[in-house]
Amino acid sequence: MPAKMLKDFLDQNKIKYVTITHSLSYTAQEIAASAHIKGKGLAKTVLVKISGKMSMTVLPASYRIDFDKLKEIIGTEDIRLANEQEFKDRFPGCEVGAMPPFGNLYNLDTYVAASLVEDEEIAFNSGTHTELIRMQYNDFERLVKPKILRFSSKYKT
């Protein structure tokens, strides 16, 4: 079941969504394969610290953060990945590493990779390592009001 806070938020806003159950998976690429979703079609949540403040980035599973681009866009050199100890208690009802990309529910600035805007739908962890939510991207953007930036690039194979 999706994290209660997320499910309640979506239901209160009358958002249509589907839940997709998949086998236990921890990495975004494993989840995409398990749920039969292309890596670009699955959004992953990556937490970063920007000038000491926890923030959320959201990008396709098959992409990585380009920290040089992000630093240039944000205008600071003080950006790094957050470590698990820094955020493990910040997402009640969610398993660590399965946080949904709704920074607004957790008082976090949210930065979305521009490449996600190109898709009609977005799929993402619902708070567990065995379930995704898929919904219209436009609904996601309307609810979260993220900053849309070009800060990611595809993993090289």
pLDDT (mean) for 77-103: 93
Please give the residue range of the domain that contains residue 60.
4-151
Residue 22: predicted pLDDT: 77
Q: What is the per-residue pLDDT across 38-52, written as a single tens digit (0 to 9) for each?
A: 656 789 999 999 999
pLDDT surpassing 80 at residue 31: no
Task: In whole angstroms, give the CA distance from residue 151 to residue 71.
Answer: 9
Q: How confident is the model at residue 57 (pLDDT cuts 50, 70, 90)?
A: very high
Residue 113: predicted pLDDT: 96
Q: Position of tokens 């399965």?
A: 98
pTM more than 0.75: yes
Residue 14: predicted pLDDT: 97
Spatial neighbors of 52 by CB under 8 A, at least 6 apart, are 78
Residue 157: predicted pLDDT: 58
- With respect to residue 156, please indicate whether it lies within any of the assigned structural domains: no
Higher-pLDDT residue of 31 and 145 is: 145
Higher-pLDDT residue of 19 and 24 is: 19
* DSSP one-letter string for 69-127: HHHHHHT-S-EEEPPHHHHTTSSTTS-TT---S-GGGGT-EEEEEHHHHTSSEEEEE-S
Question: What percentage of the chain exceeds 70 in pLDDT?
Answer: 90
- CATH number, domain with residue 80: 3.90.960.10
Q: What is the per-residue pLDDT across 97-145, written as a single tens digit (0 to 9) for each?
A: 899 999 999 999 999 999 998 889 999 999 998 889 999 999 999 999 9
Residue 67: predicted pLDDT: 97
Residue 73: predicted pLDDT: 96
pLDDT surpassing 60 at residue 77: yes
Q: Looking at the 3D structure of the chain, how many domains does it have?
A: 1
Task: In whole angstroms, give the CA distance from residue 102 to residue 10.
Answer: 11
- With respect to residue 80, please indicate whether it lies within any of the assigned structural domains: yes
